[in-house]
Structure 1
Amino acid sequence: MEFLPAFFQLKDQPCLLVGGGTVAARKATLLVRAGGRVTVVAPELGPDLRRQAEAGEVTHRPGTFVPEDLDGMQLVVAATDDAAVNRAVAEAARARGIPVNVVDDRRLCSFIFPSVIDRSPVIAAVSTGGASPVLARQLRTRLETLIPSGYGRLARLLEDFRKPVRERFPDATERRRFWEEIIEGPVAELAFAGQMDEARRELEDRIARDQSRRDVGEVYLVGAGPGDPDLLTFRAVRLMQQADVVVYDRLVSRPILDMTRRDAERYYVGKQKDNHAVPQEGINQLLVDLAKQGKRVLRLKGGDPFIFGRGGEEIETLAQEGIHFQVVPGITAAAGCASYSGIPLTHRDYAQSCVFVTGHLKHGELDLNWPALVAPNQTVVFYMGLTGMPVISERLIAHGMSPDTPAALVEQGTTPNQRVLTGTVASLPKLVEEAQVRAPTLTIVGEVVRLRKKLDWYQPEEHRPGTVFSSHA
């Protein structure tokens, strides 16, 4: 280990920054955020540092570096574009025993700046010892997904309760177990969701009850997006990895399901035409029953849970039963599939509005506002429309849409198996039949489809053995 990881306490401490350019401005920002009193020595300041000086965040001493600039300083950074000046700063600082950093020259550094994940008061830092700052930033980006911004709020809340918890649980082991349950349970989730008053009441209640386990668990209603795991939100990934139980539907791809905890219980509740693994009322009750067993339940739904996902019905039941829950939005199929197929849903030359509708047949009919769907300069996106494609095509044309209106079918959008077929409103039924299109498929109707050839950017990867992007996860 070439460098010892450490954190400097710089609040109200004098710090010297030599250099006035863009790199120096970035270092000044870090020092100021840490509470340092920063003096900048440079003949001239760049625009960023000039703004900081005008705002009173840093003090500027015009001129070149002299050793006397180090008097009283606790920490020094050299960030000029002159190697000789940087070396002179480093040598003078070392002679006085002052920690010094020279940007882009770790040989002259007695400390280095890591890539920082700032969730104050929680701070995480990643460093490659100066070997590859780009790699450090990449690792920091990955850690960002595991350390949501709400950790700062949680840490401040826990700090307020350290004394009462120590008094309530004098045994160190018992106290550790209590804190572990709090950090992994509903108190933390309420803090992450910004519900601080509720989180405080919950923590107070937990301390008063003197127990390390909740009687009732909670439910996470999470949108899994259209299929590509990279489109998951940070919060979705975190909840997926901490849930005790996973209740998932047909549109959740296998790679996304594999991101949940391997030891979690799994319940498949997918729906297909005339084949519902579990009726919706049964799904609602299952979530309630699992939560009442004290479990953290992940309800994983393809796309977004509130766009044709019946998520509202599920949380309505949870609310009636007094079950804690939170909702994590996902990228809906319309947004994901349109983007990955190179079809913008709106474009000022073709469409100024967009409508999402369900194409699901009920008793062989589609009860839709057809006159509104054929409005000009509009894109219409049909979810679940394969079975009803002949009806959709016939009704749109009957209500005034030109048979030659461009249309596209996006099968298994955003996945390596994505397939995009284009045609017209009139040719859609034949296209579905001849190409043997299968669910999940999204239908996009409108002049924006004309842009598909020009804007087609996504080239699905070759199917890899063992990787399954199936509609039956």
Structure 2
Amino acid sequence: MKHFPIFMALEGRRVVVSGGGEAALAKLRLLLKTEANLTVVAANAAPEIKKWAAEARLTLIPRAMEPGDAMCARLFYAANEDDAEDARVAELAHRDGALVNIVDNLGDSQFITPAMVDRDPVVVAIGTEGAAPVLARAIKKDIEEKLSPRLGLMARIGKAFRAKAEALPFGVKRRDFWAEYYNTDVASETDAQDTLEALLDKHLNADIKEGRVDLVGAGPGDPELLTLKARKALDEADVVIYDRLVAPEILELARREAIMLSAGKEGFGPSVTQDAINEMIVSHARGGAHVVRLKSGDPTVFGRLDEEIEACEASGIAWTIVPGITSASAAVAALGQSFTKRGRNSGVRFITGHDTKGFVDHDWKTLAQPGKVAAIYMGKKSARFIQGRLLMHGADAATPVTVIENASRPDQRILSTTIGELEPTLTNANLAGPALVFLGLAPRAAMDAADQINMEAAI
């Protein structure tokens, strides 16, 4: 982010525009919506600018810009539509201490004016740092259609009502009051005032809100693979308790006011205990909070889900499961494969490489048989153990194995190897992110070739 978005106070402050043509008019139409003291310096000002000056909406200086014209100005716009003149007046404004914007010259501007959706006092600013103005306009159009034309009216009435709303306790109860108000469509100022009074009475006399818990799957990492239901839960959550593997881009989708609590677990490393996580969930929900327990992938797959449900039930707290796309589904998609294929395998196993007690033993004899496919979670650090067990039970050392690191994320990496070469392949790869190990699957091109060899051998 090269430009930090802020809303600058312009009430009573000086803003200067140099230029009197179309570029200046475009800026002035926007600036006239503010309460700034506007000055235009232009030898040849458009009739519209002269009309605004006659109406005392701005001050017009009918000449070329001179030193001192931008003195005490908070903002300055160079809008002469002439590169040489804009460079000259920008230098004068710099000397006068103003922040300078040169129209259509991003590189030499100190600030930019974003596209805006105006529902005064509600303003939505959209910026692309000059990279895609067409995209900014498209986003503006989309937001314009979604926001009620009466939203500004509701915000103005609501602002005047804030002192009364302080009768509600700070936090969830007050936030619920305002959320219900802004989700109500009003027809007039009187309607808005009546709605606020009725809602305040309702929320003052309401019973203490019961907390609840959503056990939410965050998916494998790509924010676009987050379900709509998970996105809604994040938007409504008062508290988000998240795992170490949840992508930062997904955490960014949580409500800004939400309390964010890390409950990271790391295999064979420092971790927050499950008892501590259960206590976090229960204590916040008991306080009336909407808690989102955010887990990487799908919470029903190796997510310690039952223990957290049992903790909620023991405390009488309502809970809901929001499934997510498990990491194995995203990883196998990255290979261009399916888990099952007619003539190859009719089933797939999801297994874990280790649990809280260490390496996990499975039916290695069955897994070692030809044609078996398994997705091994948390198998990175237990790879040598898995390799040894499979070979010991008769697995063909040439059986394909694929390791997918950071499935679905921009830094996704795919390693194609075999059981016999699983180690040292993983050690040499220096994997840093979460990884899944697929037994019996290779990336599509390699798998198609192996299938063809198997078919020919069968003939």
TM-score range, shorter chain: 0.5 to 0.7
Distance 1:283 1:399, change over 3 A: same
Aligned to 2:324: 330
1:213 positional shift: 5.4
1:219 and 2:213 equivalent? yes
Percent identity over paired residues:
35
* 1:297-355, Cα deviation, whole Å (9 max, x unpaired): 11110000010011121011101211111110000111111112323221223221100
- Of structures 1 and 2, the larger Rg is shown by 2
Equivalences for residues 328-407 of structure 1 within 5 A: 328-360=322-354, 365-407=359-401
1:275 positional shift: 3.1
Structure 1 unaligned spans of 5+? 1-134, 144-170, 189-206, 456-473
How many Å separate the matches in 1 of 2:326 and 2:208? Answer: 33
Distance 1:178 1:439, change over 3 A: closer
How many Å separate the matches in 2 of 1:222 and 1:435? Answer: 32
Distance 1:183 1:355, change over 3 A: farther
How many Å separate the matches in 1 of 2:447 and 2:399? Answer: 18
Distance 1:403 1:454, change over 3 A: closer
Q: Which amino acid aligns with 1:435?
A: A
1:216 positional shift: 2.8
Distance 1:402 1:212, change over 3 A: same
Residues 366 and 391 in structure 1, CA contact (< 8 A), matched pair in contact too = no
Aligned to 1:268: 262
Q: SS at the partner of 2:319?
A: strand
Q: SS at the partner of 2:423?
A: helix
**1:250 counterpart (244, 255, 260):** 244
TM-score w.r.t. the length of structure 1 is: 0.52
How many Å separate the matches in 1 of 2:227 and 2:439? Answer: 28
Equivalences for residues 49-128 of structure 1 within 5 A: none
Q: Which amino acid aligns with 2:313?
A: A
Q: SS at the partner of 1:326?
A: strand
Aligned to 2:421: 427
Residues 343 and 452 in structure 1, CA contact (< 8 A), matched pair in contact too = no
1:218 positional shift: 0.9
Aligned to 1:279: 273
Distance 1:274 1:262, change over 3 A: same
Q: Which amino acid aligns with 1:290?
A: H
Distance 1:439 1:310, change over 3 A: same
Aligned to 1:449: 442
**2:433 counterpart (408, 414, 439):** 439
Aligned to 1:417: 411
Distance 1:450 1:296, change over 3 A: closer
Distance 1:273 1:172, change over 3 A: closer
Distance 1:254 1:214, change over 3 A: same
Q: Which amino acid aligns with 2:254?
A: T
Q: Which amino acid aligns with 1:272?
A: E
How many Å separate the matches in 2 of 1:349 and 1:275? Answer: 42
Residues 368 and 390 in structure 2, CA contact (< 8 A), matched pair in contact too = yes
1:215 positional shift: 4.3
1:454 positional shift: 7.6
Q: Which amino acid aligns with 1:326?
A: T
Q: SS at the partner of 1:327?
A: strand
**Which of 377-386 and 275-284 deviates more?**
275-284
How many Å separate the matches in 2 of 1:317 and 1:445? Answer: 35
**1:301 counterpart (291, 295, 306):** 295
Distance 1:445 1:266, change over 3 A: same
Residues 358 and 382 in structure 1, CA contact (< 8 A), matched pair in contact too = yes
Q: SS at the partner of 1:410?
A: strand
1:231 and 2:231 equivalent? no
How many Å separate the matches in 2 of 1:436 and 1:172? Answer: 56
How many Å separate the matches in 1 of 2:281 and 2:228? Answer: 23
Q: Which amino acid aligns with 1:357?
A: I
How many Å separate the matches in 1 of 2:237 and 2:330? Answer: 26
Q: Which amino acid aligns with 1:251?
A: L
Distance 1:209 1:228, change over 3 A: closer
Q: Which amino acid aligns with 1:433?
A: T
* 1:142-183, Cα deviation, whole Å (9 max, x unpaired): 98xxxxxxxxxxxxxxxxxxxxxxxxxxx9999xx9998499
Aligned to 2:34: none
Q: SS at the partner of 1:221?
A: strand
Structure 2 unaligned spans of 5+? 1-137, 147-163, 184-200, 449-459
Residues 335 and 443 in structure 2, CA contact (< 8 A), matched pair in contact too = no
How many Å separate the matches in 2 of 1:265 and 1:319? Answer: 23
**1:310 counterpart (301, 304, 321):** 304
Q: SS at the partner of 1:378?
A: coil
How many Å separate the matches in 1 of 2:314 and 2:211? Answer: 15
Q: SS at the partner of 2:210?
A: coil
What is the alpha-carbon root mean square deviation over aligned residues?
Answer: 3.5
How many Å separate the matches in 2 of 1:331 and 1:313? Answer: 21
How many Å separate the matches in 2 of 1:453 and 1:217? Answer: 51
Distance 1:242 1:324, change over 3 A: same
How many Å separate the matches in 1 of 2:251 and 2:392? Answer: 42
Q: SS at the partner of 1:300?
A: strand
Asked which structure has the greater RCO (Cα within 8 Å, sep 6+), the reply is 1
TM-score w.r.t. the length of structure 2 is: 0.53
Q: SS at the partner of 1:266?
A: strand
Q: How many residues align?
A: 271
Aligned to 2:70: none
